[in-house]
Amino acid sequence: MSNNKGSAYGQAASDTDFRKTYDLDEYAAKAKEREAAEKEERKARWEAKMAGKKYYKPLDGSETLTTARNATQDFSRMVGTSTLVPAGAGVGKRGRGAGFYCEACDLTFKDNLQWIEHTNSMQHQRSIGQTGEVRKATAADVHARIVALWERQQEREREQVVSLKERLEVRAEEEEKEREEKRKKRKEAEERRRLEKETALKVKTEYGEDVRVEGEHDEDDMMAAMGFTGFGTTTKK
Amino acid sequence: MKKSEFHRADEKRFLDERGSSGSLAPNGLNPATIMEKAVRERIVDCYFYKEQCFGVNEADIVDRVVEHVDFIGGVYGTVQKPTPFICLAFKLLQLAPSDAILDEYLRFGGEKFKYLRVLTAFYIRLTRQDKDVYQWLEPLLEDKRKLKRKGRAGTTLTYVDVFIDDLLTKDRVCATSLWKMRKRDILEDLEMLEPRVSPLGNIEDLLEEEEDDEVKKEGGDDSDGSVRSKTPDSGLDSNHDKIDVDGMGESRSSRSRSRSRSRSRSRSP
Ligand SMILES: [Zn+2]
């Protein structure tokens, strides 16, 4: 649209006068159009009221189709710190308040049920620019969806197997560590016992050596080495 | 007239069209009134329906079944909460999927997702002509996978083939009255159905064999095992005996009654 009228910030050109008239004409035409539309809407509203129906603004073609929710609503994201709503709070209180707030419609609801009912309403569908209509699926669409869901499920199961395997591996590792720890302790205990024994033995041997005072038997030893035994008077203890 | 490419995201128009401009199901019933009013009202009032069935098309139904249906049933618990199963069956009544789509649900999808299979079977039983119901459902009597069922009495264990048998023989399943179909042998007489060929072989031969065995048994042969092993679905029976021991599911007597009913049905010329 702005292409036809030129840029609002553009340089003044020689055809300004022409554009002015053009704009004026267009403006008049638009005003007329709008008036007609408003009249049409009043009429439609009136007719809807007479028929006991609710009036919704007619679609202008810019709307998108309604689609199914992707997953379960995550309300934890929407709810503020306070979910307490004063008793008797009406359905769809205007403005932001405590509870479940709809940004598009600027309404607050006291619980998730009311909120979800609201998001399903035509009023809400219109304010988010959706038609309230859903495209039909073909058999081919259904087939493709089944394939996709099956693959997703297989993938999940594989992941589960992997995580199970991982868990088992971690556990095996832990068990191995535990066994290692026990082995170490056992070895240490054995070593300690061995050392104790050794020390005890050493004490004994040392005690034996102690008895044999150095130098005392040197003569005997020499004699023995030379072949003489039992010759002297000294006896070995 | 060109069929619309769209569904309404909600059920309001579907329910408003009750008995007027709304199109009828292939069996001549009005899909909006196939379920009982009390159940319908519970469905459209429940949170699951509002959250998970709004804006759903024929492909999204599969998502919902895979994510949310892990038991069959109508309403359950003391507050008679509608099951996701019955909510999605109601949504199917609104969507009125084509036979080609039902085939995808029942066979291709049903092999992978058993609850998709039984949901579709239930929907077919509610909306299709009797001859088509037999033809769609009977092959599923070979599906022995386990199912969970929730009712007012609590949770029980059942099987796909048992549920299918219920759909073919009972007049009330999952809080819903089933319309009265003509018996199989009548449809055979009218040449609307071929006699059923059991995948286990010729049903007549099997029945004769069974009778011979029974005669033998009465004649003093008391080896019970040999008789049972020759019956066409002995594996099945012994399988199902286990549940009965647990006191779960339908009583065996009612099941074998319906089985024998279907046998005698296919036996008559
Ligand atoms: Zn809104």
CB contact under 8 A, A132 and B58: no
Residue A149 lies in a domain: yes
Whether residue A145 and residue B63 make contact (CB cut-off 8 A), yes or no, is yes
**Residue A223, class by beta-carbon neighbours within 10 Å (0-12 exposed, 13-18 middle, 19+ buried)?**
middle
- Phi/psi at B153 (5° precision): -85, -10
DSSP B36: -
**pLDDT value at B65 more than 60:** yes
**Which residues have a Cβ under 8 Å from the Cβ of B83 and sit 6 or more positions away?**
B69, B71, B72, B73, B74, B75, B76, B150, B174
**Is some CB atom of chain B closer than 8 A to the CB atom of A51?**
no
Average pLDDT over residues A160-187: 89
- Separation in Å, CA of A63 to nearest CA in chain B: 14
| B6·A136 Cβ contact <8 A | yes
pLDDT-derived band at B5, boundaries 50, 70, 90: confident
CB contact under 8 A, B57 and A73: no
Query: Averaging pLDDT over each range in A178-182, A200-204, B17-21, B241-245, which range is the top one?
Result: A178-182
Q: Does A96 reside within a domain?
A: no
Average pLDDT on B122-129 reads 97
* pLDDT tens, position by position, A102-149: 888 999 998 889 999 999 999 999 888 888 899 999 999 999 999 999
End-to-end Cα spacing for chain A:
128
Q: How far is the CA of A101 from the centre of ligand 1 (A)?
A: 8
Name the closest residue on chain B to residue A151, using Cα atoms.
Answer: B112
The predicted pLDDT at position A20 comes to 53
Counting the structural domains of chain A, the total is 1
B172: which 2 tokens?
């009330």
Shortest distance, CA A64 to any CA of chain B (angstroms): 12
Asked if the structure places residue A231 within a domain, the reply is no
Quick one: which H or E segment has residue A108? Answer: strand A107-109
**Is A220's pLDDT higher than 90?**
no
Task: Note the pLDDT of residue A142.
Answer: 96
Chain B residues with CB-CB distance to A72 below 8 A: 51-52
Q: How far is the CA of A102 from the centre of ligand 1 (A)?
A: 5
pLDDT exceeds 70 at position B49: yes
CA A126–ligand 1 middle distance (angstroms):
9
Of the listed ranges A137-146, B25-34, B193-202, the one predicted with least confidence: B193-202
Range of the domain at A200: 143-206
More confident residue, A149 or A59: A149
Shortest Cα–Cα distance, B268 to chain A (Å): 38
Q: Is A224 on the interface with B (CB under 8 A)?
A: no
User: Tell me, what's the pLDDT at B204?
Assistant: 63
Give percent above pLDDT 70 in chain A: 65
Pick the closest to residue A142 from B88, B58, B121 (CA basis): B58
Q: Tokens 């008793």 label which residue?
A: A87
One-character DSSP codes across A13-72: -TTHHHHHHHHHHHHHHHHHHHHHHHHHHHHHHHHHHHTT----PPP-S--B-----SSS
pLDDT band at A214 (very low <50, low <70, confident <90, very high): low
The band of A49, judged by pLDDT with boundaries at 50, 70 and 90, is confident
Task: Choose among B4, B9, B103: nearest Cβ to A66.
Answer: B9
Residues 6+ apart with CB under 8 A from B40: B15, B90
Candidate from B7, B54, B100 with C-beta closest to A120: B54
Query: Mean pLDDT across the stretch A20-44?
Result: 75
Does residue A236 belong to any structural domain of this protein?
Answer: no
Q: Which residues of B touch A65 (CB under 8 A)?
A: 6
Start-end of H helices in chain A? 2-5, 16-50, 75-78, 112-119, 122-127, 139-211, 218-226
Q: How does residue A34 score in pLDDT terms, banded at 50, 70 and 90?
A: confident
pLDDT at position A144 is 96
Q: Is it the case that residue A216 has pLDDT exceeding 90?
A: no
Quote the pLDDT of residue B199. 62
Q: What is the mean pLDDT of chain A?
A: 74
Token output for A162: 């992997």
- Indicate the pLDDT class of residue B247, thresholds 50, 70 and 90: very low
Instruction: Please check whether residue A67 lies inside any domain of the structure.
Output: no
Report yes or no: B84 and B47 within 8 Å, Cβ to Cβ: no
pLDDT at B226: 37
Q: Return the pLDDT at B262.
A: 44
- Give me the pLDDT at residue B17, please: 61
Distance of CA A2 to the CA centre of its chain: 45
For residue range B130-185, what is the model confidence (pLDDT) as tens digits? 999 999 999 999 999 999 999 988 999 999 999 999 999 999 999 999 999 999 99
Q: Is the pLDDT reported for residue B269 higher than 80?
A: no
A10 within a domain of the structure (yes/no) = no
Residue A192 lies in a domain: yes
Cα of A143 to nearest chain B Cα, Å: 6
**How much is the average pLDDT of A198-215?**
64
Lowest-pLDDT choice from A82-96, A105-119, B42-56, B61-75: A82-96
A with B: how many residue pairs have Cβ under 8 Å apart? 98
pLDDT for res A149: 95
The CA A120 to ligand 1 mean position distance, Å, reads 9
Contacts of A113 in chain B (CB under 8 A): 47, 50
Query: Could you give the percent of chain B with pLDDT greater than 90?
Result: 59
Surface-to-core class of residue A163, CB atoms within 10 Å of its CB (0-12 exposed, 13-18 middle, 19+ buried): exposed
Between chains, do B113 and A149 touch, taking CB under 8 Å as contact?
A: yes
Euclidean distance between CA atoms A126 and A122, whole angstroms: 6
Per-residue pLDDT band for B217 (boundaries 50, 70, 90) equals low
Task: Give chain B's length.
Answer: 269
CB proximity list for B54: less than 8 A, separation 6 or greater:
A68, A69, A119, A120, B9, B10
The nearest CA of chain A is from the CA of B48 a distance in Å of 9
Q: What is the pLDDT of residue A77?
A: 46
Kindly state whether residue A156 falls inside one of the protein's structural domains.
yes
Interface test with B, best of A63, A120, A130 (most B CBs within 10 A): A120
Q: What is the pTM of this model?
A: 0.64
Could you tell me which chain B residue has the CA closest to the CA of A146? B109
Which residue matches tokens 């199901």? B25
The pLDDT-based confidence of A100 (bands split at 50, 70, 90) is confident
Judge whether residue A32 has pLDDT over 50. yes
Distance between B107 CA and the closest CA of chain A, angstroms: 11
Residue B191 pairs in a beta bridge with none
ipTM of the complex: 0.74
